[in-house]
């Protein structure tokens, strides 16, 4: 009898499960407006309503994909609100993942062009989507072994557009992170995604509202949650963003109308005032969706009751991975030119070790940062208790040309051209060329080859030529000094780590100077000086960013021996010895105090052993360092106004970030100069003191800084404006 009872109960449960109607969700695309969909899902889940199927497009695919993968709505909300979407859209590389030689010119151009065999062209998207893909992979590790999307905790589909045919590409299987990335590859913003020989872009182009796909999955009813844009009138097309929205949505408007008719229940969310890139308003958009859903169900309680009658058993959630994972094997796919060893050296990961998710992200970023690859995506294959890490790369066949500019009120404006050529003469090599065009043109060239040895070896050459006019003081003399200089440096550099480098070099310099006015008539006239020198150097850079850094150190030290000096001046007490030595160094430390406030301190010094010629004096003053001319910055004094044989500057200050990328700072500087280096520590030294205040902004076109400084015993308040990336 008991067996019969249990059999009847089992049949009833089985029959009830078969007869329970299934509800599906269709989530439309709409960029940042998709946060409103999270708000609606939140209200549905609070009322015990769960879907049996989900289909999504673009941002709807991302939200729906995470829901289908076992994330609760509250978990999706937490991820969406905590992600730095501005950072994802910029696709910037963390500075710590760059090689030291690349830190000061990586992405320092306003315009980046690709040099192809067919000519020069713009990149396929403003952003490659690498960071976005990385975040998807990290957060979806737990389902990457599930390649059939119908086997996910909630059966799922998403839509992309085949760029070649314009037809929809319906994802029913594959790697879920890759599917979500391809569904949200917004044209002109994210680069297309290549899958199985197809080039895929945002699914919103062909079917932004995938209602029919939910029906095809077997749903008995479909709740459509729509954030699509409506067609705008000519008067509303008053900005570039609105025009882009309209362009993207035009092809999908007709499809949307057809899909709306197929909805059993339809919710049109009130987010038309937000653009697809309004990620900074993510909280407001989410709350707008949540508010609308509560109001909607309050006004339509019968719909809420109907939805509750569907099978609303929450699917069992798969355990998410949030900490470390044990990496078994590491496999690299897609290598054709660059060696596997190069990839492993950049990754710095070993097999059969535990690694945090951040460490894995940084490893993939270091590969991408080398610029040998269009992308470096990663996925995981579970192998027992281990995870095999699969790195998939696509090598770039294109070289790069960057165009930038810089202006400052001391030296004027400059046009900057940078180019990089990969795998020239040696697999895994880079050739760099830079040109600065202004009244003092400069040229730089470098070649770095991966040899498999540590340190990596690079060769650099730089040329400077130009004319500068300075009002300087030299001991008791004051003059108008016109300098015509040509300088060539040849450098062999070893990369000890991503933060430390050392090397040696040979320098040749020709200088022609004219003293237009002097208090001492015996020193009037023109002079030509030619020098040759050898030097060794070491540098380290751990700053979190090049401009307005909040943490890290910046260090440089150089010892230089002059082996050849030929000058039109007789070598005497005023003008120096026929050979001499110099040592200079600089150090800066930046420490974060709070989320916005940071402290900085540092020093710079240059001392000479024996007497340097006038051309090798230190020129103190100005707001920027100009290493090519041995200038040492000291705000509050005009550029190069003080000439000294030996000098040291100490500084300290505070920096505060008012809002994102907008900074103010105050700085105190103290300088010492002396005829001999030991005078810097004696009463015979000259002392200078200044106070500086500044405001700066990190713009798309480079840093913008406005600075003001006043030096003690100098009457003038000096202002300085800088726009653009440093050379």
pLDDT reported for residue 581: 87
Across the chain, mean pLDDT equals: 83
Encode 39-58: b = buried (16+ Cβ within 10 Å), e = exposed.
bbbbbbbeeebbbbbbbbbb
Q: Tell me which residue of 576, 582, 581, 601 sits closest to 591, measured CA to CA.
A: 601
Residues 478-499, mean pLDDT to the nearest whole number: 78
Helices (H), 91-239: 130-139, 176-183, 211-217
Find out if CATH 3.40.50.1970 is the number for domain 399-724: no
Cβ atoms of 381 and 358 within 8 Å: the answer is no
Helices 282-299 + 301-308 axis angle, to 10: 100
pLDDT 10s digits, 55-105: 999 999 999 999 999 999 999 999 999 988 887 877 778 888 887 777 776
pLDDT 10s digits, 319-330: 777 678 899 999
Task: Give the 3-state secondary structure of 321-388.
Answer: CCCEEEEEEEEEECCCCCCHHHHHHHHCCCCCEEEEHHHHHHHHHHHHHCCCEEEEEEEEEEECCEEE
Question: What whole-number distance in Å separates Cα of residue 320 and Cα of residue 595?
Answer: 29
pLDDT 10s digits, 333-392: 888 888 888 888 888 899 999 999 889 988 988 888 888 888 888 888 888 888 999 998
pLDDT reported for residue 233: 60
Please state the length of the chain: 727
Cβ atoms of 582 and 607 within 8 Å: the answer is yes
Helices 130-139 + 176-183 axis angle, to 10: 140
Domain extents for the chain? Answer: 21-91+127-308, 324-395, 399-724
The tokens describing 647, both together, are 């000098």
Question: What whole-number distance in Å separates Cα of residue 485 and Cα of residue 483?
Answer: 6
Q: Tell me which residue of 555, 558, 554 sits closest to 536, measured CA to CA.
A: 558
Question: What whole-number distance in Å separates Cα of residue 619 and Cα of residue 606?
Answer: 10
Does residue 457 or residue 608 have the better pLDDT? 608
Cβ atoms of 317 and 311 within 8 Å: the answer is no
Kindly report the CATH class assigned to 21-91+127-308.
alpha beta
pLDDT 10s digits, 101-158: 777 766 677 777 777 777 777 665 556 678 888 889 999 998 988 999 999 999 999 9
Contacts of residue 254, defined as CB under 8 A and 6 or more positions apart, other chains included, come to none
Question: What whole-number distance in Å separates Cα of residue 150 and Cα of residue 47?
Answer: 25
Establish whether the linkage from the previous residue to 249 is cis, with ω within 30° of 0: no
Contacts of residue 589, defined as CB under 8 A and 6 or more positions apart, other chains included, come to 553, 600, 601, 602
The DSSP code for 94 is: P
Cβ atoms of 449 and 431 within 8 Å: the answer is no
Statement: residue 182 has pLDDT above 90: yes
Question: What whole-number distance in Å separates Cα of residue 488 and Cα of residue 532?
Answer: 10
pLDDT reported for residue 527: 72
Cβ atoms of 65 and 38 within 8 Å: the answer is no
For residue 561, the tally of other CB atoms under 10 A from its CB is: 14
| Residue 191 CA, distance from chain mean position | 16
pLDDT reported for residue 424: 79
pLDDT reported for residue 377: 86
Cβ atoms of 54 and 40 within 8 Å: the answer is no
Q: What is the pTM of this model?
A: 0.78
Q: Tell me which residue of 82, 88, 102, 26 sits closest to 58, measured CA to CA.
A: 26
Of the pLDDT bands very low, low, confident and very high (cuts 50, 70, 90), residue 17 is very low
Question: What whole-number distance in Å separates Cα of residue 177 and Cα of residue 562?
Answer: 59
Lowest mean pLDDT among 310-319, 407-416, 433-442, 499-508: 310-319
Cβ atoms of 25 and 51 within 8 Å: the answer is yes
Establish whether the linkage from the previous residue to 314 is cis, with ω within 30° of 0: no
Rounded to 5 degrees, what are φ and ψ at 712? Answer: -60, 135
The tokens describing 507, both together, are 């320098």
pLDDT reported for residue 711: 93
Statement: residue 242 has pLDDT above 80: no
Question: What whole-number distance in Å separates Cα of residue 510 and Cα of residue 484?
Answer: 8
Q: Tell me which residue of 435, 64, 383 sits closest to 223, measured CA to CA.
A: 64
Of the pLDDT bands very low, low, confident and very high (cuts 50, 70, 90), residue 442 is confident
**Beta partners for residue 528, in sequence order:** 512
Question: What whole-number distance in Å separates Cα of residue 582 and Cα of residue 616?
Answer: 9
Of the pLDDT bands very low, low, confident and very high (cuts 50, 70, 90), residue 166 is confident
Question: What whole-number distance in Å separates Cα of residue 334 and Cα of residue 395?
Answer: 7
pLDDT reported for residue 515: 61
10 Å CB burial of residue 31 (0-12, 13-18, 19+) is buried
Question: What whole-number distance in Å separates Cα of residue 313 and Cα of residue 504?
Answer: 70
**Beta partners for residue 474, in sequence order:** 477, 643
**Beta partners for residue 412, in sequence order:** 408
pLDDT reported for residue 238: 57
pLDDT 10s digits, 494-547: 888 878 999 999 998 888 776 654 455 444 557 778 888 999 999 999 999 889
Q: Tell me which residue of 432, 447, 439 sits closest to 415, measured CA to CA.
A: 439
10 Å CB burial of residue 495 (0-12, 13-18, 19+) is buried
Task: Give the 3-state secondary structure of 397-428.
Answer: CCEEEEEEEEEECCCEEEEEEEEEEECCCCCC
Question: What whole-number distance in Å separates Cα of residue 637 and Cα of residue 635?
Answer: 6
Superfamily the domain 324-395 falls into: membrane protein fhac (3.10.20.310)
pLDDT reported for residue 618: 83
Q: Tell me which residue of 388, 369, 386 sits closest to 378, measured CA to CA.
A: 388
Question: What whole-number distance in Å separates Cα of residue 390 and Cα of residue 380?
Answer: 6
pLDDT reported for residue 626: 66
Helices 282-299 + 35-46 axis angle, to 10: 40
Question: What whole-number distance in Å separates Cα of residue 188 and Cα of residue 172?
Answer: 26
Output the CA angle 278-282-288, nearest 5 degrees. Answer: 105
10 Å CB burial of residue 660 (0-12, 13-18, 19+) is exposed
């Amino acid at each position: 009898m008991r067996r019969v009872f249990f059999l009847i109960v089992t049949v009833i449960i089985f029959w009830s499960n078969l007869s329970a109607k299934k509800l599906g969700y269709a989530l439309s695309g709409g960029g940042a407006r998709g946060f409103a969909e999270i708000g609606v899902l939140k209200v549905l889940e609070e009322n015990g309503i769960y879907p049996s199927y989900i289909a999504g497009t673009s941002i709807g695919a991302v939200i729906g994909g995470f829901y289908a993968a076992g994330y609760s709505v509250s978990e999706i909300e937490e991820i969406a609100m905590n992600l730095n979407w501005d950072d994802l859209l910029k696709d910037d590389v963390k500075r710590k993942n760059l090689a030291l030689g690349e830190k000061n010119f990586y992405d320092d151009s306003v315009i980046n062009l690709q040099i192809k065999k067919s000519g020069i062209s713009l990149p396929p998207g403003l952003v490659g989507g690498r960071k976005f893909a990385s975040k998807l992979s990290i957060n979806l590790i737990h389902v990457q072994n599930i390649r059939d999307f119908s086997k996910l905790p909630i059966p799922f589909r998403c839509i992309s557009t085949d760029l070649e045919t314009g037809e929809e590409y319906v994802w029913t299987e594959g790697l879920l992170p890759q599917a979500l990335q391809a569904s949200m590859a917004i044209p002109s913003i994210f680069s297309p995604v290549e899958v199985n020989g197809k080039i895929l872009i945002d699914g919103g182009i062909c079917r932004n509202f995938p209602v029919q796909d939910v029906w095809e999955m077997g749903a008995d009813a479909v709740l459509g949650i729509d954030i699509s844009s409506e067609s705008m009138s000519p008067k509303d097309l008053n900005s570039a963003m609105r025009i882009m929205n309209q362009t993207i949505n035009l092809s999908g408007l007709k499809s949307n109308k057809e899909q709306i008719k197929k909805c059993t229940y339809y919710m049109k969310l009130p987010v038309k005032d937000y653009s697809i890139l309004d990620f900074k308003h993510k909280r407001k958009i989410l709350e707008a969706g949540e508010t609308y859903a509560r109001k909607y169900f309050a006004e339509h309680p019968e719909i809420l009751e109907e939805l509750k009658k569907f099978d609303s058993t929450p699917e069992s959630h798969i355990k998410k991975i949030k900490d470390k994972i044990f990496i078994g094997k590491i496999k690299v796919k897609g290598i054709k030119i660059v060696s596997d060893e190069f990839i492993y050296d950049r990754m710095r990961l070993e097999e059969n070790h535990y690694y945090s998710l951040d460490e894995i992200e940084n490893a993939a970023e270091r590969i991408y940062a080398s610029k040998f690859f269009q992308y470096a995506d990663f996925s995981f294959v579970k192998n027992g208790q281990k995870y095999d890490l699969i790195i998939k790369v696509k090598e770039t066949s294109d070289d790069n040309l960057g165009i930038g500019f810089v202006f400052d009120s001391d030296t004027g404006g400059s046009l900057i051209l940078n180019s990089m050529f990969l795998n020239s003469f040696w697999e895994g090599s880079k050739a760099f060329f830079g040109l600065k065009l202004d009244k003092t043109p400069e040229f730089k060239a470098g070649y770095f080859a991966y040899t498999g040895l540590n340190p990596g070896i690079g060769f650099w050459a730089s040329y400077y030529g130009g004319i500068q006019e300075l009002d300087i003081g030299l001991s008791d003399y004051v003059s108008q000094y016109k300098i015509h200089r040509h300088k060539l440096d040849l450098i062999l550099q070893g990369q000890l780590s991503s933060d430390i480098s050392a090397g040696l070099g040979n320098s040749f310099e020709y200088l022609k100077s004219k003293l237009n006015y002097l208090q001492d008539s015996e020193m009037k006239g023109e002079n030509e000086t030619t020098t040759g020198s050898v030097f060794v150097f070491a540098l380290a850079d751990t700053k979190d960013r090049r401009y307005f850094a909040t943490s890290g150190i910046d260090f440089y030290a150089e010892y230089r021996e002059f082996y050849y000096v030929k000058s039109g001046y007789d070598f005497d007490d005023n003008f120096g010895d026929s050979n001499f030595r110099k040592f200079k160094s600089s150090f800066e430390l930046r420490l974060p105090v709070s989320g916005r406030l940071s402290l900085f301190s540092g020093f710079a010094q240059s001392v000479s052993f024996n007497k340097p010629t006038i051309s090798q004096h230190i020129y103190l003053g100005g707001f920027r360092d100009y290493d090519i001319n041995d200038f040492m910055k000291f705000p509050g004094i005009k550029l190069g106004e003080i000439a000294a044989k030996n000098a040291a500057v100490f500084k300290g200050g505070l920096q505060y970030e008012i809002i994102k990328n907008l900074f103010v700072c105050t700085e105190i500087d103290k300088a010492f100069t002396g005829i001999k280096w030991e005078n810097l520590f004696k009463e015979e030294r000259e002392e200078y003191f200044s106070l500086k205040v500044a405001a700066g902004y990190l713009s798309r076109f480079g840093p913008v800084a406005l600075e003001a400084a006043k030096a003690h015993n100098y009457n003038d308040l000096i202002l300085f404006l800088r726009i653009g990336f440093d050379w």
